[in-house]
Structure 1
Amino acid sequence: MVASGNNYKDKVSQLISWGHWFSFFNIIAAMLLGTRYIVQSEWPETLLGQLYLGFSWIGHFGFLVFGFYILILFPASFLIPSQRLMRLFAVLVATIGLTTLLLDTHAYESLELHLSPLVWDLLLSGEKTELNARWQYLFVVVPIIFLLQLILSEWLWRKLRKLTRKHVGVPIATVFGLCFLGSHLLYIWADANLYHPVTMQRSNFPLSYPMTAKSFMEKHGLLDRQDYVKRRAEQGLDESELIRYPIEKLSFNNRGTNQNLLIVMIDSLRSDMVNEETMPYLTAFANQNLNYKNHYSASNDNMTGIFGLFYGLPGGYINSVRSEGSTPILLKTLKERNYDFGLFSGNQFKAPIYYQAIFNTKQAEENLATNQSQQPDDQLAIADWKTWLDSQNSEKPWFSYLELKSVQEFEEGGDYVPQFTPSLGNVKINAEGVDSTLLLKNSYRNAAYYVDELLADIFEELTAKQDLDNTIVIITANHGTEFNETGTNSWGANSNYSQYQLKVPMVIHWPGQPVAEINRPTSHLDVVPTVMESLLNVSSSPKIYSSGVNLFEEHPKRSWILAGDSRDIVVIQQNRTTVVDKYGNYRVYDNNYKLMDEGKPKLSTLMQVMHELKRFYQPE
């Protein structure tokens, strides 16, 4: 008999059959809770994307719940002798599972993170916030879930004979299996073809790791890896969402001051190079104008640093902007005000971000085509800039962007003239001769010294043409450069988020502004609001078009600076730097970029950061 309970084999068979049906109804419950992920995620616009969503919703939760059954309840059916005790154990497991899933849906809704060490630490921190209070209220439903599981357990046990006779187990399992397999096969295709409506759903569900097969496809001639990497870099579509930029239409008090605007971006120049020994001209210029001594780039890499400078938005938005082909509101407004554009680069704007999201207007493309020398070189770029400046109508304002690349290419620039001195008089000697790190630093300083001479040429040209009194000059960098000062084998940029890679110069000449040295923390995200408010006289709040604040105004409530990219969130505070990856794992570093054992981010701070990273996305 099926329910005799006298035979061990019959008892185990009965419990296994009951366990299958118990798992099936919990799959349905998990799928219903899983609809919260769908509501909080971007809806795929294509039919294929919606088909993948349906397959993954059914297949993932079916596999997830049944996987827990196979790992926990199935072996327990052989080990727990009493059917009542076994069913109580299953009810406890299911209650814990659904409660965890409920908590995860709330974490995803509030922070766009699944449960992780960071989220658990925040929950257990004891910090009194609205989110923490709401999370605690969720546990009120635990007894309800437990009671419903008890009712389900008893009902299934009583109806087990009737359910077993229906012979629907195989068709149900087939549906779940086909959905699971179909979702992964569809994702393999989408990943290889960079099909965004599918790949954007990669992390929607908890414990979701869609299958990829690029290595297998490349091995069998089905994928060209180089072409794939090129297409991925060009598209920049990974994990992008629809963005509202600006959030609403801007309002202006008037047409602005009509001053000229010159931005000089020195690739890879870190802030501590602005000193009398290495860059005497820039140091003197800084001492006579506005010198922001505690300024941070938007990121530690080239493209995101430039993006943050022109958009005033965190790097997390870069893929959305690139996928939509947006234009910075700053450049759009300058164009509407009939500014002449002059765009010049020592390496002919090789970074893809310039064409994908910065200078992608017709006017900018014309400037890129006509104002560049054939041979990339900073001196030639400045010569072209001078020629362009001579042609400008004094009654019409202009905007110019000048990118200098010599510092970034310091290892190739050993013949820079003049040479930086002193050279290597006090360098320690090792078994192979001169210390290689100090040689690199000396070459780097030599390149900075060379660029300083070029800056002097720019200042002299503006002065000679009597443009300096009517021209705003902003001198900064996209990111810094490290020479393993943190002891983490980090060189150059884009390897960690220390001050050596994030902290950059910010020197501003603004006619009418008093000379000042500013030591409060500032960011690349602040440049756009400053220019929009103080040059173009926008009356709308900066929150409509930027995550930054006006550099001319002190903001005492500002306790953190935001940096990072589409992979990492970086929160810079007075005595710490917190790095959170896209999976919710976090690391906290001190001012010397050493890991802090007891460091934990505050929940209130993280909530503010996550809000800022979601604010410009389209509402659901």
Structure 2
Amino acid sequence: MVSSSNNYKEKVSQLISWGHWFSFFNIIAAMLLGTRYIVYSEWPTTLWGQLYLVFSWVGHFGFLVFGFYILILFPASFLIPSQRLMRLFAVLVGTVGLTALLLDTYAYESLDLHLSPLVFDLLLSGERTELNARWQYLFVTVPIIFLLQLVLSEWLWRKLRKLTRKHVGVPIAVVFGICFVSSHLMYIWADAKLYQPITAQRSNFPLSYPMTAKTFMEKHGLLDREEYKEKLNAQGVETSKAIRYPLEKVTFSNPGTGQNVLIIMIDGLRSDMITPENMPYLDAFAAQNLNYSNHYSNSNDNSNSVFGLLYGLPANYLNSVRSSAASPLLITTLEKRGYHFGLFGNERMAEDPLYADAMFTGLPLNISTKGGDGAIIDSWSTWMEEQAAQNEPWFSFIELTSVENFEESGDYKPRFTPSLGSPKTQGVSTDTLLKNSYKNAVYHIDEQLIAIFDQLVANKQLGNTIVVITANHGTEFNETGTNSWGASSNYSKYQLQVPMIIHWPESVASVTNRLTSHLDLVPTLMESLLNVSTPASTYSSGASLFEATPKRRWLLAGNDSDIVMIQPKSTTVVDKYGNYRVYNQRYQKLNSEKPKLSTLMQAMHEIKRFNQPD
């Protein structure tokens, strides 16, 4: 019995020693594969960023592989008595691990994602696409990896005693340990200081979760939380990728029609409000002009949606545009054509850096701080009279906020009661009060629009002016049953579907039911107003609203974190980690549905198409 016990201890000791060396060489293999992440990531521009890259590369893959050894192979050394069987088990584990890492590097290269449920669904998809075919070729390497692992296993077992006598295990462990600890300490500092060359590397490697300690540092007076928040708000611009916009030089066939352009943005107005009851004037106006009844904003929040409308680009490019201070191609073209500009709104237009720093750089903003939308329209009317006297082309953008701010007490008489502020609301549901208040604001804006059109007619401008009436996003009243109110909480039609009504001089009134997007307005104006000859794909992700194309299969929406594909019968939301959710038309989650590979690949390609190559 004593002899048997000694033999068992000796076998276990040998297997543990062998396992350490087996893990070490697999760490080296993982690091070599890990260089693919470095190649396909943006190279740090500073010495500290490069130093962190080296430390995290060595430390992370060392910890990752050794962690699997501790969790799987180390306990197996005690449970599997046969050294041959144990080594075969280790070879299988190593083969699976390196194969998964190889697949992950390809996912990172192709989709900018690590392995996730979405990536596996794409891998196992039965669709015949180039991506799927290339993925399947990767499995050809599995037998090669298995064979190499077998050779390594046998060689290490034969050389085990010789390797053990070298006594290099401790120095090797110290090197990996120093790199691992140093990388996390560096990230703690970088995270607190928002040092982009390091924080931008957070998700470069798989299963990478760098340590942070903001709460600890704040507690000990090492971090000012308010200062941190201010820097964090600006960091999205600092860390954004460079943008190539437009993709090539834009040319024009002639100077264009010279017509005026007026864009009226009614914040928070959903498309189903355009009815004879809620907005009688706009409903009649829509019937006499071009009405796009199945129109969607490109985002569910303010800045992203206005950005998409005037740039024709998906919202994920917003910070890149701000970083490069690239003005909209539409605006710069109009400037070159000698257009006068009138930009009108309230404090939000002044506070949102998108307007002054990018969208309307160098152009005066007319901000009305008091008097609500009525004061904004009055200010615009004065400007309009000046433009009529000059007889030169003009572009005007009016942003009205009464509908979005419907909960605030307006200076208008309520039409729908009871509503917020009514004297008798006992027993009335909050839902009813909110909806009636919203409709009151909608009706009020409808009356305000009359003043705008009266001014255009009085100054004899309507016959030569393209008028666009739309909204940044819709407003939900928990129609999805997910406790969602207002906007920016989901991507249902209640928050994304908005009006798009266009008065285009000498056009025939029509209702268009096909899917259209905010991203389509820029190509429409560039082609039909400014007569651009360059394809829309070089400066926009949209297509002209006048283009006679087959019905779209999907529209692109979202923000810098989410990719949203809107389809006639479903909406797919993919987050930045590759997790996805598919919803039906009522925005109820469909657990069994999966996104179509070809469609998803088209959307993911579009949100990268304007990125500057590394």
Residue by residue, what CA displacement relative to the aligned partner does 1:33-75 show, whole Å, maximum 9, x if unpaired? 1111122222222222222222221111111111111110111
- Partners of 1:315 and 1:597 lie apart in 2 by 27
How far residue 5 of structure 1 moved from its aligned partner, in angstroms, is: 11
Matched, 1:523 2:517: yes
- SS state of the match for residue 412, structure 1? coil
Partner of 1:503: 497
Q: Deviations over 1:542-590 (max 9, x none)?
A: 1111111111113216210010111111110010001111111111110
Assess if the C-alpha contact under 8 Å between 2:515 and 2:551 holds in 1: no
Aligned counterparts of 1:334 and 1:173: Cα–Cα separation in 2: 64
Q: CA deviation at 1:529?
A: 1.0
Q: Distance in 1 between matches of 2:514 and 2:5?
A: 75
Aligned to 1:142: 142
Within 1, Cα distance between the matches of 2:592 and 2:23?
Answer: 41
Alignment partner of 1:209 is 2:209: yes
**What's 1:395 paired with?**
391
Equivalent residues in 2 for 1:259-338, closer than 5 Å: 259-338=259-338
**Aligned counterpart in structure 2 of residue 563 of structure 1, from 552, 557, 563:** 557
Does residue 405 of the first structure (1) align with residue 401 of the second (2)? yes
Q: Secondary structure at the match of 1:563?
A: strand
Q: How does 1:575-586 map to 2 (within 5 A)?
A: 575-586=569-580
- Take 1:63 and 1:237, find their aligned partners in 2: how far apart are those partners? 33
| Residues 1:383 and 2:375 aligned together | no
Mapped partners of 2:198, 2:319: distance in 1: 16
Aligned match of 1:447? 441
Report what 1:127 is aligned to.
127
2:43 is matched with which residue?
43
> Partners of 1:235 and 1:310 in 2: how far apart?
23
**Residues 1:238 and 1:596: Cα distance change in structure 2 (over 3 Å):** farther
TM-score calculated relative to the size of structure 2: 0.95
Structure 2: distance between partners of 1:543 and 1:199? 33
- Tell me the matched-pair count: 605
- Aligned to 2:96, what secondary structure does the other structure show? helix
Specify the SS of the correspondent of 2:446: helix
Tell me whether 1:191 sits opposite 2:186 in the alignment.
no
Show the counterpart of 1:417.
412
How far apart are residue 22 of structure 1 and its match? 1.0
CA shift at 1:376, angstroms? Answer: 6.0
Q: C-alpha deviations, 1:79-128, integer Å up to 9, x for none?
A: 11111111111100000001011111111111111111111122223222
Q: What SS does the aligned partner of 2:344 have?
A: strand
TM-score for the superposition, normalised by structure 1: 0.94
Give the CA deviation at 1:372. Answer: 2.6
Q: Deviations over 1:290-317 (max 9, x none)?
A: 1111111111111111111121111122
Closer, same or farther: CA 21–376 of 1 in aligned 2, 3 Å:
farther
Match of 1:542 among 498, 522, 536: 536
> Which aligned segments of 4 or more residues in structure 1 are displaced greater than 6 angstroms?
none
Worse-matched range after superposition: 600-609 or 430-439: 430-439
Conservation of the 8 A alpha-carbon contact between 1:346 and 1:380: no
Report the Cα distance in structure 1 between the residues aligned to 2:75 and 2:221, rounded to whole angstroms.
43
SS in 1 for 2:347: coil
Separation in 1, partners of 2:319, 2:17: 49
Letter in 1 for 2:571: T
Q: Give per-residue Cα distances to partners, 1:243-283, cap 9 Å, x unaligned.
A: 11111221111222111111111111111111111111111
**Which structure 2 segments of 5+ residues have no match?**
none
Q: Helix, strand or coil for the counterpart of 1:410?
A: coil
Post-superposition shift, 1:373? 3.3
Map of 1:91 onto structure 2: 91
| Contact 2:311-2:540 within 8 A present in 1 as well | yes
Contact 1:348–1:376, Cα closer than 8 Å, also in 2: no
Q: 2:346 touches 2:369 (CA, 8 Å); kept in 1?
A: no
State the alpha-carbon separation in 2 of the partners of residues 534 and 142 from structure 1: 55
Contact 2:561 2:575 in 1 (8 A): yes
Q: What SS is found at the alignment partner of 2:304?
A: helix
Shift of 1:411: 0.4
Residue 227 and residue 45 in structure 1: after superposition, are their counterparts in 2 closer, same or farther (change >3 A)? Answer: same
Question: Matched residues in 1 for 2:213 and 2:482: separation?
Answer: 33
Q: Which amino acid is 1:399 matched to?
A: F
1:312-347 deviation per Cα after TM superposition (whole angstroms, max 9, x unaligned): 111122222233332211112122222111111033
Give me the identity figure in percent. Answer: 69
Query: Which residue of structure 2 aligns with residue 224 of structure 1?
Result: 224
Q: Which residue of 2 aligns with 1:236?
A: 236
CA change 1:254–1:196 in 2 (3 A) is: farther
Segment of structure 1 superposing worse, 340-349 or 294-303 = 340-349
| Consecutive unaligned residues in structure 1, runs of 5 or more | none
Equivalent in 464, 468, 480 of residue 474 of structure 2: 480
CA distance in 2, matches of 1:239, 1:18: 44
Q: Does 1:456 align with 2:450?
A: yes
Q: 1:189 to 1:152 in 2, by over 3 A?
A: same
Deviation of the 1:196 alpha carbon: 2.0
Counterpart residue number, 1:466: 460
Which deviates more, 36-45 or 14-23?
36-45
Closer, same or farther: CA 326–175 of 1 in aligned 2, 3 Å: farther
Name the SS of the counterpart of 2:326 in structure 1.
Answer: coil
Task: Give the stretch that moved more between structures: 7-16 or 284-293.
Answer: 7-16
Distance 2:186 2:371 in 1: 44
Counterpart code for 1:553: E
Q: How many Å separate the matches in 2 of 1:520 and 1:212? A: 48
- Indicate if the aligned counterparts of 1:235 and 1:323 stay in contact, CA closer than 8 A: no
